[in-house]
Structure 1
């Protein structure tokens, strides 16, 4: 089952006089991955190589290293350890000794692997998207029930009649949550599948 990272992690090593620092973190969008890369890149370093994976979306960058020797090995490390919603940045300061294409791939992929291996993992729960509407007076109770069901509130908008929520809930919790919401609203609060829209 895929995992993401519990938080930021880093790993440092020196390989034949080149210094490598690997940073990794959890992300929930391509924009967030790009922001992580920009925030942690060192413009004084020789190379800032990276990869990220979000479900079926992924990107990688060799940042001037020979094609396929940095970004792809970093992405391979993410996939090999069954990570998702993760970004990894490997920064290199060149030390004067060339590593060759195989050495570069091992250095970048190895740094990513070691960083991810020592990191704390969080299992990604498969959740489905639903929407619901409730009155203002029911909102606090609805949020309590959502929290108990480990559901995520992804959207919240106020209307003339109350509140519209976009939520994500695991299939295992779905029927319990449906019943609880129906009970607290005398059957008025219904979950509508967002995938049907």
Structure 2
């Protein structure tokens, strides 16, 4: 069993596709790395517009480093014949922050529940196989407010911890938004608290 460091997780490198065909039915699988449920909705909306003439858009997703946010949707297929097999593939690879959608074009011949489970599972597996599984680091977004006179001290901390700057505004009162590796957060908070006229706020992921 893979044992990840406390602030890393397995996810997909990029978007990818997979396909499975059976008795005239075509199952097109689309795998996405996603960060939240808002992104899930956006990806689903794009696919529903693009494949508006498909019979079903079944999907599953898993979110969060602990893989504790998840959903499986059969979109009109028999219960547990579509969403769950897709979810099973995400879980069997221990992935998170991943959405897989399988779009089905009906070929005129019913496959039965067993046939559907095989089809959705195989299509989802193909989309993962055509991707790359990577180890990602859980990061938090933080905002640091400080007086201009503290610039050198703040920038030294950013350099020492190799932090990624997302936004910065410099004036008499300055502000920097950064990404911080989760396991460094407590240590950085302590260092910031030792500086005068410097405040840090955690904004989330």
Gaps of 5+ in 2: none
- Any conservation in 1 of the 2:27–2:103 contact (CA below 8 Å)? yes
Distance 1:146 1:106 in 2: 51
- Any conservation in 2 of the 1:12–1:21 contact (CA below 8 Å)? yes
Give matches, 1:40-119, under 5 Å.
40-41=47-48, 42-55=51-64, 56-119=68-131
1:20 and 2:27 matched: yes
Structure 2 residue corresponding to 1:36, chosen from 43, 50, 58 = 43
Could you give the per-residue CA deviations for residues 137-186 of structure 1, whole angstroms, max 9, x where no partner exists? 839x7499369625575x8788973216364324268758976x79xxx9
| TM-score normalised according to structure 2 size | 0.74
Distance 1:121 1:165 in 2: 29
Give matches, 1:177-196, under 5 Å.
187-188=195-196, 194=202
Q: Note closer, same or farther for the CA distance 1:121–1:187 as it changes in structure 2 (3 Å cut).
A: same
Report the CA distance between 1:101 and its aligned residue. 0.8
Distance 2:176 2:57 in 1: 43
Secondary structure of 2:26's counterpart equals: strand
Q: Note closer, same or farther for the CA distance 1:163–1:150 as it changes in structure 2 (3 Å cut).
A: closer
The structure richer in strand per residue is 2
- Alignment size in residue pairs: 189
Structure 1 residue corresponding to 2:11, chosen from 4, 12, 18 = 4
Gaps of 5+ in 1: none
Report the CA distance between 1:45 and its aligned residue. 0.6
Root-mean-square deviation (CA, aligned residues, Å) is 3.6
Distance 1:146 1:37 in 2: 40
Distance 1:78 1:107 in 2: 15
